[in-house]
Amino acid sequence: MAKNFYITTPIYYVNARPHIGHAYTTIACDTIARRQRLLGSDTYFLTGTDEHGQKIQRAAEAAGKSPQQFTDEVSAEFRALWDRMRITYDDYIRTTSDRHKRGVQELWRRIRDNGHIYKGSYTGQYCVFDELYVDVGPGQPCSECGRPTETVKEENYFFKLSAFAEPLLQLYTSQPDFIRPETRRNEVIAFVRSGLRDLSISRSTFSWGIPVPDDPKHVVYVWLDALANYITALGYGSDDPSKFKNFWPADVHMIGKEIVRFHCVYWPAFLMAAGLPLPKSIVAHGWLLFEESKMSKSRGNIVRTETILDVLGADALRYFLLREVVFGQDGSFSFDALVQRYNSDLANGLGNLASRTLAMITRYFKGEVPYPSNAAAHTGEEDLIAALAKHTINEFHELFEQHQFSRALELAWALVAAVDKYIVENEPWALAEKHDEHSRSRLATVLYTSAEALRIVTALAHPVMPEATARIWIQLGLGEIANASLADLRWGQLKLGTKLGKVEPVFPRADKSAIERMQMIEDQQRNPAGATEAQPATGTQAPPPSASQGSAPLNKPAPAATPDGKITIDDFSKVELRVAQVKVAEKVKGADKLLRLEVDLGTETRQILAGIAEAYAPETLVGRKIVIVANLAPRKMRGLESNGMLLAASLEGGKPVLAAFLEEVPVGARLK
């Protein structure tokens, strides 16, 4: 009986290029989707990009592009990457698409007509980076991210979130699995219990968004816009509601832990307000942290997925992330661990088992799967392997249902180890030396048993590693793995006489140079190409840079210089110089020389401190374009954090003169 299964990734915010954090979420979803298809479910797997908001508008301006052109490009990059990673999404939703806009407006009307939207006004601090009103005083940094806030005064629409506290708590109680893992559920319950305030759900200070129905001066708040993708992609608000009927409510919304509140509080409240069914579960995973190695810098070490694909391939990355990281917890990524895992589990483990088993069948039985004709050739050892295989299948399914990917894979690999051991103990190569009937039957039994166990592990691992398992499947003589069914996978289905395909290594062993190669590609890619900085987004699950700062030592080694004191181009390229425009300038209390500046970098606003107060009056700086070192580690002065350094000539007597351009330059442009 085919059931329907609907799974979603968050839609990724296009102010950042895709990186391994995005890949992690998407891989987990793809694996689940593939497994559901093999189980016979009618599966719908949705991903997409979140393309509205002030941040995007500004990033596009900085890049000298229209918002649409800008988002077209980044969105296409995401799709290209997913294709390379063998992501089998069924639909790709963009918030700038017409179908989405229609759906969002329909959702708005429904909520409004049900009486849950009212108009109010707001005066206060706004954080552009988080697209959020924050409850801090004027001039105070954002309570979320520490970036400077802007004072805004606007009239906008509010959602009566406060009315939904009770229904939400009831939901969490009656549906314990609604939020997983439990620690996130606890947080959400605590949050809602502490009381809910109404939520501002429109903006009128910028235009890059979806117009509010009947009041186009406002655009819909990015989170209401973004969350709605889960239903607009199914045709909600369109003429064809068939997909919506089939697949909504979603089985799984997979998200990163930083967007739990939006998905577990706002989203169900919006749906309740609209009178729509609620998703069945929201699963939050942890972040991927990047292990600090001696070679890398403390910041900017967000790994591009392409690097790994280039060197080890998609399967290796997919396997690594699901096997290494305990799902739900933070995990750490390093090239070292990746190669380690690849060699021990894939090359030496599954790959070698396939290689030795299939090679022996090829050699001893002319490439046809043998089976003993003599019952006496069958011993208790085969029963043990078969029993273990059966247990593995059952447990594997169980663990996968609970999203315990690492444990599921660990379990499957225990079967690989058991078969390796079984082979050594039975020495098929020695049996092959003898030509009596019993030895021949024993040999057939041992090789059949090994091949059958291999088949089962391969089938189980297929959703995780689609390519390699497809190749093993062909080598096993079983044809197209997509036709395999996981639902009735059981021992003994491998037919005798099956003609093997050509046997060749599936996971060639990686040597140490693989690590160096990946690190080299990363270094090259990271520095020269300026482009958009891979900053984390509100709407997506990218790990913030701070996530990796815990291990950053204070005493960084100085950049290596050549003996004559000259630096290489590589050294220079580590310095990220950018054009910034001063938005706010003021004296720092108690300091004679220090000014506090808020500068616009195109993609963000930053606070920097500069010792130029004696040469420049604050009011003369506002609006001026300056040059700053954008990737300087933050530093605190007078209790304020400086995130960068401006460039100025230092004259005799210490008088600074700011660097400037003769021609017009766009904010955010990089100096090289």
Residue 280 backbone phi and psi in degrees, to 5: -80, -35
Angle between helices 267-274 and 165-174 (to 10 degrees): 110
Which residue stretch of 55-63, 185-193, 381-389, 631-639 sits at the interface with RNA (rule: CB under 7 A)?
185-193
Choice between 189 and 575, CB closer to RNA = 189
137 near RNA (CB under 7 A): no
The enclosing H or E element of 382 equals helix 380-401
Which residue stretch of 46-54, 110-118, 298-306, 416-424 sits at the interface with RNA (rule: CB under 7 A)?
416-424
Indicate which single residue of 132, 278, 385, 613 sits in contact with RNA (rule: CB under 7 A): 132
Which two structure tokens, joined as six digits, stand for 29?
């979803």
Choice between 237 and 501, CB closer to RNA = 501
363 near RNA (CB under 7 A): yes
Rounded Cα–Cα distance for residues 142 and 134 (Å):
6
Q: Nearest-CA neighbor of 51 among 76, 29, 34, 87?
A: 76
507 near RNA (CB under 7 A): yes
Q: How far apart are the first and last CA of the chain?
A: 61
Task: Tell me the CA distances in angstroms from 18 to 55, 330, 357, one per residue in order.
Answer: 17, 19, 40
Give the sign of the dihedral formed by CA 133, CA 136, CA 138, CA 144.
negative
For the CB of residue 241, give the shortest distance to RNA in the complex, in Å.
31
Choice between 429 and 572, CB closer to RNA = 429
Which residue stretch of 182-190, 556-564, 565-573, 661-669 sits at the interface with RNA (rule: CB under 7 A)?
182-190
Choice between 74 and 472, CB closer to RNA = 472
Cis omega before residue 249 (within 30°)?
Answer: yes
Which two structure tokens, joined as six digits, stand for 31?
């694996």
Cis omega before residue 181 (within 30°)?
Answer: yes
Q: Nearest-CA neighbor of 108 among 162, 157, 171, 155?
A: 157
For the CB of residue 609, give the shortest distance to RNA in the complex, in Å.
25
Indicate which single residue of 61, 131, 251, 258 sits in contact with RNA (rule: CB under 7 A): 258
Contact 458, 476 (CB under 8 A): yes
For the CB of residue 143, give the shortest distance to RNA in the complex, in Å.
6
Choice between 161 and 444, CB closer to RNA = 161
Q: Which residues pair with 39 in a beta bridge?
A: none
Which residue stretch of 106-114, 311-319, 422-430, 565-573 sits at the interface with RNA (rule: CB under 7 A)?
422-430
The enclosing H or E element of 257 equals none
Contact 29, 9 (CB under 8 A): yes
429 near RNA (CB under 7 A): yes
Which residue stretch of 44-52, 453-461, 502-510, 599-607 sits at the interface with RNA (rule: CB under 7 A)?
502-510
Indicate which single residue of 187, 381, 395, 586 sits in contact with RNA (rule: CB under 7 A): 187
Residues that bind RNA (rule: CB under 7 A) add up to a total of 59
For the CB of residue 225, give the shortest distance to RNA in the complex, in Å.
17
Task: Tell me the CA distances in angstroms from 622 to 13, 234, 583, 619, one per residue in order.
Answer: 30, 48, 5, 6
Site for RNA, residues 340 to 359, rule: CB under 7 A: 340, 343-344, 347-349, 351-352, 354-356, 359
Binding mask 514-553 for RNA (x = CB under 7 A): ---------------------------------x--x---
Choice between 501 and 656, CB closer to RNA = 501
Rounded Cα–Cα distance for residues 398 and 543 (Å):
29
Task: Tell me the CA distances in angstroms from 8 to 43, 231, 245, 489, 497, one per residue in order.
Answer: 11, 10, 16, 27, 42
Contact 298, 285 (CB under 8 A): no
CA atoms lying within 13 Å on the CB side of residue 190: 7
For the CB of residue 134, give the shortest distance to RNA in the complex, in Å.
5
Rounded Cα–Cα distance for residues 476 and 367 (Å):
9
Which residue stretch of 31-39, 103-111, 417-425, 559-567 sits at the interface with RNA (rule: CB under 7 A)?
417-425
Ramachandran bin of 251, using left for φ above 0, alpha for ψ from -120 to 50, beta for the remaining angles: alpha
261 near RNA (CB under 7 A): yes
| Cβ-Cβ contacts under 8 Å for 188 (sequence gap 6 or more) | 172, 179, 260, 261, 264, 265
Choice between 354 and 515, CB closer to RNA = 354
191 near RNA (CB under 7 A): yes
If one counts every other C-beta atom within 10 angstroms of the C-beta of residue 293, the result is: 13
Contact 205, 152 (CB under 8 A): yes
Indicate which single residue of 1, 2, 197, 239 sits in contact with RNA (rule: CB under 7 A): 197
Indicate which single residue of 1, 98, 195, 555 sits in contact with RNA (rule: CB under 7 A): 195
Choice between 36 and 355, CB closer to RNA = 355
Q: Nearest-CA neighbor of 394 among 487, 319, 494?
A: 487
Site for RNA, residues 324 to 343, rule: CB under 7 A: 324, 326, 329-332, 340, 343
Choice between 358 and 613, CB closer to RNA = 358
Contact 537, 12 (CB under 8 A): yes
Choice between 299 and 574, CB closer to RNA = 299
For the CB of residue 130, give the shortest distance to RNA in the complex, in Å.
8
For the CB of residue 377, give the shortest distance to RNA in the complex, in Å.
19
Choice between 399 and 610, CB closer to RNA = 399
Which residue stretch of 6-14, 109-117, 191-199, 239-247 sits at the interface with RNA (rule: CB under 7 A)?
191-199
Beta strands in 396-472 (DSSP E): none
Rounded Cα–Cα distance for residues 444 and 393 (Å):
24
Q: Nearest-CA neighbor of 519 among 304, 263, 373, 362?
A: 304
190 near RNA (CB under 7 A): yes
Indicate which single residue of 1, 174, 194, 512 sits in contact with RNA (rule: CB under 7 A): 194
Sequence length of the chain is 672
For the CB of residue 588, give the shortest distance to RNA in the complex, in Å.
26
Indicate which single residue of 39, 303, 314, 423 sits in contact with RNA (rule: CB under 7 A): 423
144 near RNA (CB under 7 A): yes
Choice between 314 and 547, CB closer to RNA = 547
Query: Binding residues for RNA, per CB under 7 A?
Result: 132-135, 143-144, 161, 183, 186-187, 190-191, 194-197, 199, 257-258, 260-261, 324, 326, 329-332, 340, 343-344, 347-349, 351-352, 354-356, 359-360, 363, 410, 417, 420-421, 423-425, 427-430, 505-509, 547, 550
